[in-house]
Chains A and B, each alone.
Chain A
Amino acid sequence: MSDWLKQVEQAGAGFAAGWDADREQLVWKGLIRRQKRRRVVRRSAAVAGMLALSLVAWRTLAPSPPTLATAHPVTSPETRRPTTLPEPKMNEGSPAIATLSDGTRVESLTRSTRYEIREASPALVRVELLEGQARFDVVPRPTRRFVVEAAAVTVEVLGTQFLVSRRGEAVDVSVERGLVRVGQGAGSVELKLGEAWSSTAAARSELPTPDSVRPEAERNAPKKSPSRAPTPVRALRGGANVGDAPILPEESAAELLAQADEARAGGRPEAAVAPLEKLLSQHRSDARAPLAAFTLGRVLLDDLQRPLSAAEAFAEALSLQPFGPLAEDAMAREVEAWAKAGRADKAHQRALEWLERYPKGRKQAAVRTFGNLP
């Protein structure tokens, strides 16, 4: 079993808690109440059933006027097919994010971002990016292809989250999670997490070109390690001008987190601060950003005794994922950090908010202490 699966099993053990005598008694009382309600409902249903039966019998036996028979309209496959493609649902609170009918989320990252859904069926979803930059968080489905078209470039999803940026005919693709296949003409290249591709850089031969433009002999040669592996994101720095697309970062979120972990494990917490701050600056929407903010808070508070900065880091962890798994802890530690920074007023206020949000939270004692509450 791989390491991450072992960690999942260990983490799953924590789910066994949360059931105490009070809760058991509360649920038991609710169970008894439900049983009583079911008995009342069953008796009422029986009475209603008898009445309905009587009514039907009465109507059946009484004479009724003749009615015209009507035929059901014939529906052909054509009439059953929807005539318009489903509009993406805009998520409340996040106007730049739309959810497609298959669950895929499309986040418009620039004001100029425009896209249209060209096709939506159980086998294929095809989106054309007309302008700007968008992040696609695609629901992986083995029986459904998801394709983004931008100018002459197609990006086919193999289960992932990725960015596509288009300015005129220039297109950039970078992968934040999983795997995508980028096609141009008859050729294609696969990109993994942390990798990127640019149409303009490819045109200047700075990046691997699709198969179709390689010499026939090279294409037919026995497969070996490619002489030019997909180039990491660094190749784009100082290169293509893609307008309002951001300058792509050097290091991925995973690399930065690993650097921070290495520094902490090596007893150098001060060296963990920079990579964590860089991650938050350059990969704010990465799934690891809340953990990075939380870890930064812990390093600043527990290792470096910088409670004011720690409070900000914990607050950021909460804002990045207000209902995430770290939210309760992040908010509790923020209370502690404010208290240690000498901001008793702020600690008190946040403690009250924490208690309102988590009335049965496990950090009650600490939050009440640091928030100066009884």
Chain B
Amino acid sequence: MQGEVTLENAYRSHASYVASVARRLLGRDRDVDDVVQDVFIEAQAGLKSLKEPQALKGWLATITVRRCTRKLKLRKFLTTVGLETSSEAPDVPSGQASPEHLMLLGRVYEALALVSAQERVAWTLRYIQGERLEAVSELCGCSLATAKRRIAAAHEVVRSVMGHE
């Protein structure tokens, strides 16, 4: 990204990336637009003081993870009190994944709905987003040990629900 780091510059360069991270974390499309807007509104305040423009993408990812974690916590609460459906079917565009992959992801997201938002986010970053453990801990704002613990806790549930060894 060249030139001044304005809000619009940042948005045009990285909105697509933020949207894809949000989509994978949330598992569905309907909240993605809100999250993208939230992320860039929050980021705007810090853009002027951004020392390394090349760090922008990573910083936006961290904000995205934080926003999505908050949304997932709220979703879990609303589901518990019956104000939201517990359906976790991911609405992946059909042209991008085979039916078998869609079904697999559907079951994975149903399993992930059973764990805490933090555990879900860590596992999704690791196994669906494909991030390294160190990147997961940075994005989640926690230690490497905590990231590993969250991933392991979620993995136990996912494995149990999916019926895999």
Residues of chain A at the chain B interface (Cβ within 8 Å): 2, 4-5, 7-19, 23-24, 26-28, 30-31, 34-35, 38, 89, 99, 103, 139-140, 142, 158-160, 177-179, 193, 254, 287-288, 290-291, 294-295, 298, 321, 323-329, 332, 361-363
A12 touches B100 (CB 8 A): no
Tell me whether A159 and B82 are in contact in the complex, defined as CB-CB below 8 angstroms, given that A15-B24, A31-B40 are known contacts. Answer: no
Residue on A with the closest CB to B106? A325
Interface residues of B in 127-165 (CB under 8 A from A): 127-130, 156-157, 160-165
Tell me whether A15 and B23 are in contact in the complex, defined as CB-CB below 8 angstroms, given that A31-B11, A140-B114, A291-B99 are known contacts. Answer: yes
Residues in B neighbouring A15, C-beta threshold 8 A: 20, 23-24, 90, 92, 96, 128
Inter-chain CB contacts under 8 Å: number: 148
Question: How far, in Å, is B65 (CB) from chain A's closest CB?
Answer: 15
Which among A31, A139, A295 has the highest number of chain B CB atoms within 10 Å?
A31
Residues in A neighbouring B87, C-beta threshold 8 A: 323
Main SS of the interface on chain A? helix
Question: How far, in Å, is B1 (CB) from chain A's closest CB?
Answer: 16
CA distance A130 to B28 in the complex (A): 40
A177 touches B103 (CB 8 A): no
Query: A12's contact among B24, B79, B114, B160, by CB below 8 Å, is which?
Result: B24
A4 touches B89 (CB 8 A): no
Contact with A along B104-133 (1 / 0, CB 8 A): 111110100010000000000001111000
A30 touches B33 (CB 8 A): yes
Residues in B neighbouring A291, C-beta threshold 8 A: 99-100, 103
CA distance A329 to B91 in the complex (A): 11
Main SS of the interface on chain B? helix
CA distance A5 to B89 in the complex (A): 18
A14 touches B93 (CB 8 A): yes
**Residue B78, interface by CB 8 Å:** no
Residues in A neighbouring B24, C-beta threshold 8 A: 12, 15
B80 touches A325 (CB 8 A): no
CA distance A332 to B163 in the complex (A): 31
A140 touches B20 (CB 8 A): no
B102 touches A287 (CB 8 A): no
CA distance A9 to B8 in the complex (A): 32
Residues in A neighbouring B157, C-beta threshold 8 A: 140, 159
CA distance A30 to B86 in the complex (A): 28
Residues in A neighbouring B23, C-beta threshold 8 A: 15, 18
CA distance A105 to B23 in the complex (A): 27
**Residue B36, interface by CB 8 Å:** yes
Residues in A neighbouring B99, C-beta threshold 8 A: 291, 294-295, 298, 326, 329
A9 touches B160 (CB 8 A): no
CA distance A331 to B65 in the complex (A): 34
Question: How far, in Å, is A331 (CB) from chain B's closest CB?
Answer: 10
